[in-house]
Structure 1
Amino acid sequence: MKRALTLVVLAPAFALVGGCGLKPLYAGGGSGAVATGLGQVEVAPIEGKAGWLVANALRDRLGAAPSGAARYRLQVKLDDEITGLAIRRDDSVARERRILRARYQLVELGQGGVVLDATAGSDAGIDVVGSEYATIAAESTALERLSDIVADQIVTRVAVTVGRTPPAP
């Protein structure tokens, strides 16, 4: 009974959502405006190990632009920081926090204008154990995960921006 009443109450709300102007971001699939626009983004080199990981993740998600076909350049600057959080009785660190932040700009190559200037970031907690190797491995794994998360955030924001930008003449 409650389920039927809920459907009756929510049915008008569902009808209104259809007319609100929302459309899927990736409408048209691989040949849609957003997918085509993402394929026209080249990723500028990014410094360091974190930069290499983020750049590879971005290239995987954006798709490879044929040589000379790039309309945009994505420039990314990273800030990778590890801080100790918890201290043991012997004054050694028991837990670390790794933070990866990215400031990025999407530059339109033809006009040289910045289309998007934004930031992305994420953090991860790391247990510091007695084995130095295990701690280094955990820090490395955290960096890999954070690189994927930051790349996903960047691509999502770039996709929205590219979807709103009119196609090149």
Structure 2
Amino acid sequence: MKRFLPLFAIPLVLSACGLRPVYGGGGHGVVAQTLGNVEVAPIEGKGGWLVRNALNDRLSAMSKGSGPRYRLVVKLDDQIAGFGLRADAAVTRERRTLRARYQLLDEATGVQLLDDSAGSDAGIDVTSSEYATIAAEDTALERLSQTIADQIVARLASYASRQQSSAKQADQ
């Protein structure tokens, strides 16, 4: 019986350390409501279109309030660099890097609430078929767009959670 005592103590220890779920309260929680009130500004280029759609997919799943309360402005930097070389100086490998700088703005006041960046990269094999290489570059951009959107939403959720914690501490 003494062996099982620590198992019962784990929830007490975890609750005492201050860990709590980011999406506490589900769709009615502060974080979900904050994310549901974010409007994503148009982003330039094909990568921008992909990132904006991925962000809208994630943010629209959250509960919506009376309208957008925040505006997310994203600027992308998309680079492809060759780095694998054969003896005849032909590129055999490329790296596609997608970086995003984003700002969360309060719609009512225009005040910048968050200024951060996200990024990811992917390796691409360059083949003798130009079509296959272009298809691989496009596929990499699609994957990178999803990764960037996940990073941005996670950081927005973290920001909303911190704001909720500071508001609770201010009330006490």
Instruction: Give 2:130's aligned residue.
Output: 132
Report the CA distance between 1:109 and its aligned residue: 1.2
For residue 89 of structure 1, give the secondary structure of its aligned residue in structure 2.
coil
- The structure-2 alpha-carbon separation of the partners of 1:14 and 1:31, relative to structure 1 and needing over 3 Å to count, comes to closer
Report the CA distance between 1:12 and its aligned residue: 6.2
For residue 46 of structure 1, give the secondary structure of its aligned residue in structure 2.
coil
Report the CA distance between 1:147 and its aligned residue: 0.2
* Aligned amino acid, residue 26 of structure 1: Y
Q: For the Cα contact (< 8 Å) 2:79–2:98, is it kept in 1?
A: yes
Q: Distance in 2 between matches of 1:145 and 1:132?
A: 20
- The one of 8, 22, 27 equivalent to 1:25 is 22
Q: Distance in 1 between matches of 2:65 and 2:161?
A: 22
Query: Do residues 99 (structure 1) and 97 (structure 2) align?
Result: yes
Gaps of 5+ in 1: none
Instruction: Give 2:170's aligned residue.
Output: none
- The structure-2 alpha-carbon separation of the partners of 1:112 and 1:91, relative to structure 1 and needing over 3 Å to count, comes to same
Report the CA distance between 1:30 and its aligned residue: 1.2
Instruction: Give 1:150's aligned residue.
Output: 148
> Structure 2 length as normaliser, TM-score?
0.86
> Structure 1 length as normaliser, TM-score?
0.87
Kindly, what percent of the aligned residue pairs are identical? 59
Instruction: Give 2:34's aligned residue.
Output: 37
Q: Distance in 1 between matches of 2:150 and 2:97?
A: 16
Which runs of 4 or more aligned residues in structure 1 lie more than 3 Å from their structure 2 counterparts after TM superposition? 7-15, 64-68
Q: For the Cα contact (< 8 Å) 1:37–1:163, is it kept in 2?
A: no
Q: For the Cα contact (< 8 Å) 2:40–2:56, is it kept in 1?
A: yes
Quick check: 105-114 or 59-68, which moved more?
59-68
For residue 50 of structure 1, give the secondary structure of its aligned residue in structure 2.
helix
* Aligned amino acid, residue 28 of structure 1: G
- The one of 106, 113, 120 equivalent to 1:115 is 113
Quick check: 54-63 or 66-75, which moved more?
66-75
Q: Distance in 1 between matches of 2:75 and 2:9?
A: 47
Query: Do residues 52 (structure 1) and 49 (structure 2) align?
Result: yes
Gaps of 5+ in 2: 168-172
Q: For the Cα contact (< 8 Å) 2:81–2:96, is it kept in 1?
A: yes
Quick check: 41-50 or 66-75, which moved more?
66-75
